Amino acid sequence: MNAPAKLNLSLVVGPLRPDGKHEVETVLQALELADRIELEPAPALSVEGFPEDTLVRDALAALRAAAGSEHWWRVRIEKRIPVAAGLGGGSSDAATALRLANATLAEPVGDERLHALAARVGADVPYFLVGGSQLATGDGTVLEPVSLPTDYAVLLVLPHGVRKSSTASVYAALDARDGARGFESRRAALRAALERVSSPRDLATLPPNDLCSSPLAASLVALGAFRADVTGAGPTVYGLFERASDARRAADVLRAAGQVWLTRPARLP
C-alpha cells in the first residue's frame, strides 16, 4: 500500500497549549510521492527496509495493546520519500501500517479509537489515516476536509548540505522570537483565504509557513512557481506550477542547489 508524502500548503503557529504543544492551523495536502508498505501477521514484530524506523514500531505496539491481540506483524518499508525532510514520511508509514494491521484483526479497532492511537504516536499520523486535503487545527490532530484544486505540478527541493533541525528546536526558535504573536489574525486570514480558493493560483494567497523560510522559495517563484514555501519544519522547499513542463525546467536549474523530486497532489480514491 502507498504511504503518501504531504505538503503543508500553509502553517500558522500559535502559543503553547496547556499540554505543552503549540496551537496550529495548517493546510495539509497529500502527494503522489509515496513510500510502499507491506504487512502481514507474524509471531514477532519486525520492520524491514528502513532500520531507522521508530514510528511504525510504536504504532503497531499501541494497536496490539489497544486491541488486546496476541499477534504481531512483519512490515516491509520501501522508502521513496526523503527522510527527515518535513514531508511526513515516517508518520505516513506509521498510519499506513496501522490501517493494514487493523484490517488483519478479528475485531478491528474503530475509526475514532484508531485516530486516538495515531495521535499518541505523532501529530501528523492521524492525518495520514485520511489523507487528501485537510485543515488541521488544535495540536494538528483535529482534521476537517477541505475542497482544494489538485491540477498542478509540485517540485520538491531538498537543499544540499542542510540538515533537518529537530522539530522541538524549530518550535523553540519560534518561541524565542515571539513568533506566535498575532496568531488569531493570521488564523483568520488563513480561513478567509481558504474560502476564496477556487483555482490552483489561489493557493498563493494562503499565509506562509510561520516556522521556516528559505531563499530557495524566491528562486522557485523566479522560475515560474505560483507559490513556493518550506513544508512543515523543513528543510524541503516546494514550488507549485501550473504546467509540469515548467516544473521540469525549474528542476533542471535547481539540481545544483539540492535534490529534486517532481510529483503531483494525490487525489482520494
According to DSSP, residue 201 is labeled G
Rounded distance, CA 79 to CA 125, Å? 17
* Residue tagged active-site, from 35, 53, 124, 210: 124
Catalytic residue list contains 6:
yes
175 as an active site residue: the answer is no
Cα 138 from Cα 64, distance rounded (Å): 27
Q: Write out the three cell numbers for 63.
A: 494497536
Q: What does DSSP assign to residue 241?
A: E
Burial of 16-43, coded b for 16+ CB within 10 Å and e otherwise, reads eeeeeebbbbbbbbbbebbbebebeeee
Contact of 210 with 182, CB cutoff 8 Å = no
Give the rounded distance of the alpha carbon of 228 from its chain centre. 16
Catalytic residue annotation: 6, 124
